Amino acid sequence: MAKLEQLKTAFVTALGIEDSEVTDSLAYSEHAKWDSTAHMVLIAEIESQFEIMLDTDDIIDMSSFAKAKEILAKYELEF
Amino acid sequence: MQGFCDNNLAIKQGFIFDAESQTKLSYFELNQKIEDLIHTFPEGKFLYAVKANNSLAALITYLALLRSGQCILLLDPNLNAEQKQTLLNQYQVEFLFDLATTESDKQLPQFIKTGYQSDIAIHADINLLLSTSGSTASPKLVKLSLKNLAANCESILAYLPVKPDDTQVCTLPMHYSFGLSVLHTHLQQGANIVLNNFSLMQKPFWELIKTYRPQGFYGVPFSYQLLTQLGLKRLPLDSFSYFAQAGGKMPLKITELMHSWCAELHKPLFIMYGQTEATARIAYLKPEILAEKMQSIGQAIQGGKLKLCDEAGREIVQAQTIGELYYSGDNVCLGLAENRADLANIEAIDWLATGDLAKFDQEGDFYITGRLKRFIKITGKRISLDEVEQIFASLLTENQIQTAYSVVGQDDRLLLVVTDLLDDEQQDKLVNEIAGLLAIHQKYVQLKQITVIPRLSNGKCDYPEINRQCLNQDAVNV
């Protein structure tokens, strides 16, 4: 549970959005603030929060909050 | 001559594919659509605004307007309603193509009357208006002619290996002069063009790359930063036979990374320099000398000339001496406009003052050393510090904050400077609002407090000194 909060915080910080906006439907290019710059910041934030290194394929595949949870599961992180 | 927009398009071999609507047209079909659309235009020369992403509808519209001698204002589709309205009003735009959603391949793009009508006739030579700073939605526009576009297209094709059987997957928006120049050269050659609006951080973009296997990669420094961060070795870049960079000075570290990777694979990397005021391109560095001249922009494109002038306006003939960079060529614009009245006439600019400071070496290759004008680039977007300063002033007033202020910065770092201590909430609010208005990420914006805004004897802000004080603070805090 704490991990989910950590991931949400990473999104809030990186995209500069409100807590309430972080839902499963939050998606790249559909939210004005989630552009390529914000995406790079988000990746850096997730990598430092969870002390992991994401694969290139996973970085470009992380197109929504739901997808982020799914991808991070591969890194043995349970949400 | 203008093979990128005239009737000759009909005999070219390639295709245009719109990734969003999944529509594919041959050049013959494209030409037919252009002709059909031209028939819907009213008699006379008017100003048409086109607000569009990269799409077939936008391309057909743009080429039809260009071919029929109209005047086009290309708008950034991310402008908000208010910014758009300001421009329409300022220029008394008669007709608007608002192509926000991808139009189907069946119908022709539609335009509406804006309600504005002007008695001011547009000069016969003005065909295109482009913004130099999309971000602040400044009403200042560059006036370009069909001749400008054709000249620049020809000069670019004289050095970039764009071939008729190439495929280009767009990486830049068409309202941006660099993105537009890529379209022109590929249309001129009859190459395949895959229109899309994906970013390099999106999987669908890389799927297009894998499917269409393009030859040329065009990017601004930020694009290359993303490529290197994502990992050059892990991306599907094998189809690319050359790389080209423009849109600002690339950080040396990224140029070095790109160069060593390109050199190993024998793929040329073109470092280029340009401005919207010169249609797009001004200079490029020959890839074979990149290794020894990593920071150079090379020499003027074919048909153009570069020179440096000192403060008194005298030409600098001595190598390694810094002066303002001037450019001359058929691609130099017809002047700048701020309103409709400015469209009635054109300015003959023999030498375009670039506002950049530069020097040249013994072989005549140029190096940009700084900027005369107060501009910075944030992720490739040109930002006028003077404009931001005005916006910042009105924000302070709106929020009833009384303080002396200034705005300074370097590339990728915008500093809002105040003399009074603000609370955290006020600071966050100002940073977020400025970032929001400029459509940049808030990590590039910082609020700084200094004791007093230093001024020069003429009363103007001493910007270098403000910058120095802010940088000193960073040094102390570290």
**pLDDT per position as a tens digit, B216-248:** 999 999 899 999 989 999 999 999 999 999 998
pLDDT digits (tens, 9 = 90+) for B364-385: 999 999 888 788 888 878 888 9
* Alpha-carbon separation of residue B52 from B132, B269, B380 (angstroms): 17, 30, 20
Percent of chain A with pLDDT over 70: 99
Percent of chain B with pLDDT over 90: 79
DSSP-derived secondary structure letter, B319: T
- CATH number belonging to domain A2-73: 1.10.1200.10
Please, are residues B403 and B420 in contact by the beta-carbon 8 Å criterion?
yes
- Range scoring the smallest mean pLDDT among B2-16, B92-106, B213-227: B92-106
- Which of A38, A57, A59 has the CB atom closest to B441's CB atom? A38
- Range scoring the smallest mean pLDDT among B4-18, B30-44, B316-330, B432-446: B432-446
Chain Cα centroid distance, residue A62: 7
Mean pLDDT of A1-27: 91
pLDDT score of B327: 98
Name every residue whose Cβ is closer than 8 Å to that of residue B387 and which is 6 or more positions away in sequence.
Answer: B133, B136, B138
Rg (CA), chain A: 11
Closest-CA residue of A relative to B79 is A32
Distance CA B260, CA B186 (A): 28
Residues of A in contact with B380 (CB under 8 A): none
CB contact under 8 A, B441 and A37: yes
Mean pLDDT of B173-201: 96
CB contact under 8 A, B442 and A56: no
**Total beta-carbon pairs less than 8 A apart between chain A and chain B:** 45
CB contact under 8 A, A60 and B234: no
Q: Is residue A79 predicted with pLDDT exceeding 60?
A: yes
pLDDT score of A30: 86
Of B197, B235, B191, B239, nearest to B215 (Cα)?
B239
pLDDT band at A33 (very low <50, low <70, confident <90, very high): confident
The number of beta carbons lying within 10 Å of the beta carbon of residue B470 is 20
pLDDT score of B106: 59
| Greatest Cα-to-Cα distance within chain B, rounded to the nearest angstrom | 67
Q: Which residues of B touch A (CB under 8 A)?
A: 199-203, 205-206, 222, 226, 229-231, 234-235, 379, 432, 435, 440-443
Mean pLDDT of B263-275: 97
pLDDT band at B461 (very low <50, low <70, confident <90, very high): confident
Distance CA B426, CA A32 (A): 23
Q: Please give, rounded to a whole number of angstroms, the shortest distance from the CA of B438 to a CA of chain A.
A: 12
* Alpha-carbon separation of residue A17 from A10, A33, A38, B160 (angstroms): 10, 8, 11, 42
DSSP-derived secondary structure letter, B474: H
Q: Is residue B424 predicted with pLDDT exceeding 80?
A: yes
Mean pLDDT of B326-335: 98
pLDDT score of B133: 64
pLDDT score of A62: 95
Q: Tell me whether residue B232 is exposed, middle or buried, using C-beta atoms within 10 angstroms of its C-beta: 0 to 12, 13 to 18, 19 or more.
A: middle
* DSSP E strands, B253-295: 269-274, 281-285
- Which of B202, B226, B230 has the CB atom closest to A28's CB atom? B202
Residues of B in contact with A47 (CB under 8 A): none
Residues of B in contact with A37 (CB under 8 A): 222, 379, 440-441, 443
Q: Any idea of the CA torsion for A65, A67, A73, A78, to the nearest 10 degrees?
A: 30
**How many CA within 13 A on the CB side of residue B447?**
22
Of B25, B46, B126, B52, nearest to B94 (Cα)?
B46
pLDDT score of B458: 72
| Angle at alpha carbon of residue B281, lines to B227 and B166, rounded to 5° | 60
Percent of chain B with pLDDT over 70: 96
pLDDT score of B105: 57
Which of A23-32, B186-195, B227-236, B428-437 is modeled with the greatest confidence?
B186-195
pLDDT band at B474 (very low <50, low <70, confident <90, very high): confident
Q: Which residue has the tokens 């595949």?
A: A61
Q: Is residue B137 predicted with pLDDT exceeding 60?
A: no
Beta pairing, strands B192-195 & B15-18: parallel
Closest-CA residue of A relative to B431 is A16
Q: Tell me whether residue B44 is exposed, middle or buried, using C-beta atoms within 10 angstroms of its C-beta: 0 to 12, 13 to 18, 19 or more.
A: exposed
A20 touches B at CB < 8 Å:
no
pLDDT digits (tens, 9 = 90+) for B385-423: 988 998 898 899 999 999 999 999 998 999 999 999 899
Q: Is residue B136 predicted with pLDDT exceeding 60?
A: no
Domain ranges of chain B: 7-371, 375-477
Mean pLDDT of A50-55: 92
Distance CA B238, CA B244 (A): 15
pLDDT score of A26: 95
Q: How would you label B130-161 residue by residue, b for 16+ Cβ within 10 Å and e otherwise?
A: bbbbbbbbbebbbbbbbbbbbbbbbbbbebbe
Residues of A in contact with B379 (CB under 8 A): 37
Q: Please give, rounded to a whole number of angstroms, the shortest distance from the CA of A42 to a CA of chain B.
A: 11
Instruction: Give chain B's mean pLDDT.
Output: 93
pLDDT score of B284: 98
CB contact under 8 A, A36 and B201: yes
DSSP-derived secondary structure letter, B273: E
Q: Is residue B103 predicted with pLDDT exceeding 80?
A: no
CB contact under 8 A, B435 and A38: no
Mean pLDDT of B177-200: 97
- Which of A37, A38, A56 has the CB atom closest to B230's CB atom? A56
pLDDT digits (tens, 9 = 90+) for B22-57: 999 999 999 999 999 999 999 999 999 999 899 999
The class (CATH top level) of B7-371 is alpha beta
Q: What is the H or E stretch that residue B27 is in?
A: helix B27-38
Which A residues in the span 27-56 are in contact with B, Cβ-Cβ below 8 Å? 28-29, 35-41, 55-56
Domain B375-477, architecture per CATH: 2-Layer Sandwich (3.30)
Domain ranges of chain A: 2-73
Residues of B in contact with A39 (CB under 8 A): 199, 201
pLDDT score of B101: 60
Q: Is residue B302 predicted with pLDDT exceeding 90?
A: yes
The model's pTM is 0.88
The more confident residue out of B3 and B207 is B207
pLDDT band at B297 (very low <50, low <70, confident <90, very high): very high
